[in-house]
Amino acid sequence: MLNLINLQQKPLTTSELRRTLPRGGVDVDAVLPTVTPVVTAIRDHGVSAALDYGEQFDHVRPESLQVPSTVIDQAVADLDPDLRAALEESIARVRAVHADQKPQPHTTELTAGGTVTEIFQPIARVGLYVPGGNAVYPSSVIMNVVPAQEAGVTSLVVASPPQADHNGWPHPTILAACGLLGVTEVWAIGGAQAVALMAYGDTNLEPVDMITGPGNIYVTAAKRLVRGVVGIDSEAGPTEIAILADDTADPVWVAYDLISQAEHDIMAASVLITPSATLAEAVNREVAARYRVTRNADRVAQALTGPQSGIVLVDDLNAAITVANAYAAEHLEIHTINARAVAAHITNAGAIFVGGFSPVPLGDYSAGSNHVLPTSGTARFSAGLSTHTFLRPVNLIEYDEPALKEISTTVITFADAEDLPAHGEAIRARFEDLA
């Protein structure tokens, strides 16, 4: 069912692997002509334009942009007790991990009286996007809100598409998650129009400084268009899983993990990297036998048989590690003997799931880690959402007179070398009568 890519006895150069490995992705440029007028109209006309486009695309117009607190409170009250317990447990675990991520200020003394202190300032106001497409994602509320809160962000808004089946408000489970997290500002707006409105605001509607959260290709295109006006976390592509496995792996477990990621989207990528032809055959057999158990079987089948998915057969475990690092998966599972030791050799992955009892669905919800991760190979140079995302390191430079005088000749020499004499004079003026 999965395409087989045989790389045995072949050179594993980076350039060759980038051409050979299965890779999906979306062409964001192709939808920019559609999204640009939406963003421009909302920049110029604000809420009215956003609601007009929302009605056009979502076929529903909420009573108001901002969801009333009574609606959020009712969503919490109506929440199934088991789901509430699951949400609260996941919130606690994610909060514990992200609280520990917050860095502490530190001071470096370069000389007596000369110090540089690094402090960390939270982003003032952030916009958190929660999609509402193929599934309901209260987990995305948790993964975006908690790190922002732990960073010290004091002003945040969650935007999620209005639902015709729920009186024009976002899905009640989304609202309930917001309520449990203490989020009071929720906008009933989705898609590119949500991104544009968060970026530009309107009269009596404060714009944000950063936008985070996953979305479809139109959301991604809008984030590209407003980047620079606001900060963004990333241009996320379709979700992906890679599993690095040897002949000790359980083919049933591997098969289900590949299937579970494929049910997100027909463009989701599921990739097995293994030196074991026996395991490759067994996993392919189990995938074909078991993918129909999910209610999303049609979606799974399209994802698993697409060019973005496949089984990569390599010579040995070292080659598998090389391939995994070149692929730079959003999620990388390791099902090998001494999995923790193998994980130490992984340099490129959004998140690494070590051993058979650490599957990706655990990370999607309740491991405590964040599930907003870099896709499409960008894990080679970028990181997932974390408390750090919402913090800006700022240097405090503090020198007294003797400390500045000690380094003054060095600064003046640099200024002269760069033909910027006023830089040097700004130093000399503190110690000489330039008049």
Binding residues for substrate: 239, 261, 264, 331, 364, 418, 423
Q: What is the DSSP string of 298-358?
A: HHHHHHHHSTT-EEEE-SSHHHHHHHHHHHT-SEEEEESTTHHHHHTT--S-SEEEESTT-
Please state, in angstroms and rounded to a whole number, the distance separating the CA atoms of residues 250 and 272.
Answer: 13
- Examine the residue annotation and report whether 330 is marked as an active-site residue of this protein: yes
Per-residue CA distances from 87 to 8, 81, 143, 160 (Å)? 45, 10, 11, 18
Query: How many of the other CB atoms lie within 10 Å of CB of 429?
Result: 12
| DSSP category for residue 164 | G
Mutual angle of helices 28-45 and 191-200, in 10-degree steps: 50
Binding residues for NAD(+): 129, 193, 216
Q: What is the DSSP string of 177-200?
A: HHHHTT---EEE--HHHHHHHHHH
State how far Cα 153 lies from the chain centre: 18
User: Which amino acid would we find at residue 241?
Assistant: I
Please state, in angstroms and rounded to a whole number, the distance separating the CA atoms of residues 107 and 42.
Answer: 44
Q: What is the DSSP string of 97-119?
A: HHHHHPPPPEEEEEETTEEEEEE
Which one from 331, 333, 335, 371 is the annotated catalytic residue? Answer: 331
| DSSP category for residue 419 | T
Which one from 235, 330, 333, 371 is the annotated catalytic residue? Answer: 330
User: Which amino acid would we find at residue 269?
Assistant: A
Q: Phi and psi of 336, rounded to 5°? A: -140, 170
Which of 193-226 are b and which e, b meaning 16 or more Cβ less than 10 Å from the residue's Cβ? Answer: bbbbbbbbbbeebebbbbbbbbbbbbbbbbbbbb
Binding residues for Zn(2+): 261, 264, 364, 423
Please state, in angstroms and rounded to a whole number, the distance separating the CA atoms of residues 84 and 89.
Answer: 9
Asked if residue 125 lies in contact with residue 390, where contact means CB atoms within 8 angstroms, the answer is no
Find residue 274's DSSP bridge partners.
313
Residues contacting 286, CB < 8 A, separation 6+: 251, 252, 254, 255
Known catalytic residues? 330-331
